[in-house]
Amino acid sequence: MAMTTGASPASTSAGLLVLRIAAGGFLLPHGLGKLFGWFGGPGIAGFADELQHFGLPAFVPLPLLLAIAQTVVGLLVLLGAWTRVAALAAALFLGTTVVLNLGGGWFWMHGGIEYPLLWALACVSLSLTGAGALSVDHGLSQRVRTAGNLRHASDR
């Protein structure tokens, strides 16, 4: 029985969709929690307090801008829109969380880095691979390719 070594394009795109749903679905409610206090989040004032707790600046409008950024990149990763850039921005955001929690050790339940590191690496993976065929990015690239082919056909 012969074994194949590569995944099919359909299974790769399905795998990337699952990864995007997980990563974007993780980021989005955290951003919304910071913005609006949804999902048990701290809201803007609470998020500003969290920033100060870590010794970071919390002057207006920085907490609001960071919460908006986290929400937007979460939504973009989830949809697979501008995925490489959005996922890299998310990885940088999460990487900052890793650095801030280095003193807490490995295990997240003790304030460590494992949880944000996992999501940062998932986002790095998406920034390296792109969104796959089941994404807004793919739909837009197909649309641009079709428009380009039509334009070149009319030049003949």
Q: Which of 7-11, 17-21, 77-81, 85-89 has the lowest mean pLDDT?
A: 7-11
Task: Please tell me the distance from the alpha carbon of residue 80 to that of residue 57, in angstroms, as a whole number.
Answer: 31
Task: Please tell me the distance from the alpha carbon of residue 57 to that of residue 31, in angstroms, as a whole number.
Answer: 18
108 against 152, higher pLDDT: 108
Per-residue pLDDT averaged across 35-45, rounded?
97
Domain total of the chain:
1
75 token code pair: 């939504």
Task: Please tell me the distance from the alpha carbon of residue 120 to that of residue 47, in angstroms, as a whole number.
Answer: 20
Closest CA to 96 of 55, 129, 138, 146: 55
88 belongs to a structural domain: yes
Kind and range of the H or E run holding 51 = helix 43-53
Which pLDDT does position 41 carry in this prediction? 97
| CB-count burial class (<10 Å; 0-12, 13-18, 19+) for 27 | buried
156 belongs to a structural domain: no
Closest CA to 142 of 131, 128, 129: 131
Residue 5 has pLDDT above 70, yes or no: no
pLDDT in tens, 70-84: 999 999 999 999 999
Q: Which amino acid is at 31?
A: G
70 belongs to a structural domain: yes
Average pLDDT, the chain: 91
Largest CA distance in the chain: 67
Q: Whole domain around residue 112: which residue ranges?
A: 16-147
93 belongs to a structural domain: yes
Which pLDDT does position 145 carry in this prediction? 66
Per-residue pLDDT averaged across 10-27, rounded?
96
Residue 120 has pLDDT above 90, yes or no: yes
Which pLDDT does position 81 carry in this prediction? 98
3 belongs to a structural domain: no
Q: Which of 1-15, 25-39, 67-81 has the lowest mean pLDDT?
A: 1-15
Residue 152 has pLDDT above 70, yes or no: no
28 belongs to a structural domain: yes
Task: Please tell me the distance from the alpha carbon of residue 141 to that of residue 146, in angstroms, as a whole number.
Answer: 9
Give, in degrees to the nearest 5, the angle at Cα 155 between 153 and 156: 75
